[in-house]
Amino acid sequence: MSIDEKTVRKVAKLARLALPEERVAPMAKELNGIMAWIEQLNEVDVEGVEPMTSAVEGLSLPMRDDVVTAGDDPGKVLKNAPKSEDGFFVVPKVVE
């Protein structure tokens, strides 16, 4: 599969990317390189290989004991906070 400059422009428009005209040709070349790598993956023989759902499937991860700690001491909890006020963390406003 080959990606031409017309396709690059169309994908950029659909993705709402402002792609300058001088970047269209290099982008087509990069995308064609990526597609070549993907086509190489089709050559791999995966007959009899079960699909993985997780890299740690079948392994049991170590668990720590659930114990009560000094989390109820605001002085210790807020000690390393960049900014605190009245026993609470002060964070920047994220909703206008």
DSSP H helices in the chain: 5-14, 21-41, 74-77
Q: What is the pLDDT of residue 35?
A: 93
What are the tens digits of pLDDT across the range 56-90?
767 777 888 988 876 778 788 888 889 989 888 99
Cβ–Cβ < 8 Å for 3, 30: no
Residue 23 amino acid letter: R
Alpha carbon distance 28, 19 (integer Å): 12
Question: What was the pLDDT predicted at 15?
Answer: 96
The pLDDT value recorded for residue 60 is: 77
Token pair, residue 33, equals 């390189």
Q: pLDDT tier at 19 (50, 70, 90 boundaries)?
A: very high
- Supply the pLDDT for residue 51: 83
Q: What angle do CA 70, 77, 75 make, to 5 degrees?
A: 90
- What pLDDT does 93 receive? 87
| Mean pLDDT computed over every residue of the chain | 88
